[in-house]
């Protein structure tokens, strides 16, 4: 076989393999069209508005503010504030989110336009959430549910550049599924970035929310979400215990998921809920919400 013919055949086979991989990754798994972020000088980053993305057969939809919610309006508005636990990421379909399920259940029960706004993003802390509300307001909400974990006690914003730099925070589409797969999934798995742990002070934004609850007519609930190690130990770590003490001192209603039925089988990794976990969150919150929605509808 002539070298030129051999080269052409090798090139053709390689092209077919790459082309097939592109098609499989794009149409089979949704790579090439990742959810996009924007950078903020107030709250670090957030999802870009008006997105409809399909990845891993899961739909990620954002509203006019970049929340994983419908339009930010309603007769009764509920703020559900947190990090990646309630956000779900591309591993959780829009309809599987606890916020989506709660909204549907409440609308069906009360037959009113009740909206649950999912104000969250991966690796967010309470200071991100506080800055978001300071920038955009509370959307007329009378009911607020906050879901965070023990490690969030000291999770402070750093404003390290990440949007458009870190593969988990793209600001524009690569248009190629192979590039998206390699840059956002394969490369970080093979060469994970080094993690450095620097002691952090207690996040001052906790006091922001405690002060705002006292001054504002909010029905407020805090859900303390355990990680998988706390599930195994059956108790919250030292930061979790300190957070519980702070919540008690400020008369905050708390659901401790270690006591409300959260199990290791409801997790997809060390901290994030799978679909069963999202259902668990609905089970925990829904009874409390129904009473508060009734109160708001009655003007209380």
Q: Is residue 57 part of a domain?
A: no
Question: What does the pLDDT look like over 176-213, one tens digit per residue?
Answer: 766 777 666 666 666 666 555 667 899 999 999 999 99
Question: Is the same domain home to 231 and 280?
Answer: yes
Question: Is the same domain home to 137 and 190?
Answer: no
Question: Is the same domain home to 250 and 283?
Answer: yes
pLDDT for res 151: 96
Q: In Å, what is the CA distance from 212 to each residue of 2, 67, 130, 208, 249?
A: 78, 22, 10, 6, 15
Question: Is the same domain home to 272 and 207?
Answer: yes
Question: Is the same domain home to 99 and 17?
Answer: no
Q: Is residue 97 part of a domain?
A: yes
Question: Is the same domain home to 242 and 141?
Answer: yes
Question: Is the same domain home to 34 and 77?
Answer: no
Q: Pick from 197, 227, 258: which residue ends a domain?
A: 197
pLDDT for res 45: 98
Q: Beta strands 37-40 and 76-82: pairing type? A: unpaired
Q: In Å, what is the CA distance from 19 to each residue of 10, 23, 122, 177?
A: 14, 6, 32, 10
Kindly list the averaged pLDDT for each block of 10 residues, start to end, along the chain of length 300: 68 68 68 89 98 91 98 96 96 97 98 97 96 97 97 95 90 75 66 64 96 91 98 97 98 97 96 98 97 92
Overall number of domains in the chain:
2
Question: What does the pLDDT look like over 36-67, one tens digit per residue?
Answer: 999 999 999 999 999 999 988 899 999 999 99
Q: Pick from 179, 197, 215: which residue ends a domain?
A: 197
pLDDT for res 148: 98
Question: Is the same domain home to 137 and 17?
Answer: no
Q: Is residue 222 part of a domain?
A: yes
pLDDT for res 62: 98
Orientation angle between helical segments 238-249 and 205-215, nearest 10 degrees:
20
Question: Is the same domain home to 176 and 191?
Answer: yes
Q: What are the residues facing 37 on neighbouring strands?
A: 47
Q: Pick from 144, 167, 197: which residue ends a domain?
A: 197
Q: Is residue 132 part of a domain?
A: yes
Question: Is the same domain home to 204 and 259?
Answer: yes
Structural domain boundaries enclosing 165: 1-52+159-197
Q: Phi/psi of residue 255, each to 5°?
A: -105, 120
pLDDT for res 33: 79
- How many C-beta atoms lie closer than 10 Å to residue 245's C-beta? 10
Domain CATH code at residue 72: 3.40.50.1110
Question: Is the same domain home to 5 and 133?
Answer: no
Q: In Å, what is the CA distance from 174 to each residue of 34, 36, 171, 281?
A: 8, 11, 10, 35
Round to whole Å and give the CA distance between 81 and 79: 6
Round to whole Å and give the CA distance between 131 and 42: 6
């Amino acid at each position: 076989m002539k070298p030129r013919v051999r080269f052409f055949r090798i090139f053709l086979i390689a092209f077919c393999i790459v082309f097939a991989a592109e098609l499989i990754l794009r149409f089979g798994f949704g790579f090439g069209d990742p959810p996009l972020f924007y950078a903020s000088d107030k709250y670090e980053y957030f999802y870009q508005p008006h997105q409809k993305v399909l990845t891993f057969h899961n739909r990620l939809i954002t509203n006019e503010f970049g929340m994983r919610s419908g339009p930010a309006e309603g007769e009764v508005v509920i703020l559900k504030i947190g990090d990646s636990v309630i956000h779900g990421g591309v591993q959780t379909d829009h309809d599987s989110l606890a916020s989506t399920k709660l909204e549907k259940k409440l609308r069906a029960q009360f037959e009113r336009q009740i909206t649950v706004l999912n104000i969250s993003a991966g690796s967010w802390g309470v200071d991100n959430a506080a800055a978001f509300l300071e920038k955009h307001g509370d959307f007329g909400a009378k009911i607020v549910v906050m879901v965070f974990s023990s490690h969030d006690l000291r999770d402070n914003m750093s404003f390290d550049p990440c949007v458009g730099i870190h593969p988990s925070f793209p600001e524009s589409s690569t248009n190629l599924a192979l590039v998206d797969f390699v840059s956002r999934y394969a490369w970080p798995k093979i060469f994970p970035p080094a993690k450095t742990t620097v002691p952090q002070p207690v996040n001052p934004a906790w006091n922001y929310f405690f002060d705002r609850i006292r001054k504002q007519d909010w029905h407020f609930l805090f859900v303390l979400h355990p990680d998988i190690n706390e599930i195994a130990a059956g108790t919250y770590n030292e930061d979790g215990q300190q957070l519980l003490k702070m919540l008690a001192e400020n008369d905050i209603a708390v659901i401790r998921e270690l006591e409300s039925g959260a199990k290791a089988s409801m997790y997809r990794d060390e901290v994030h809920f799978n679909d069963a976990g999202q259902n668990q969150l609905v089970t925990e919150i829904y009874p409390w919400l129904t009473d508060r929605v009734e109160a708001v509808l009655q003007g209380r």
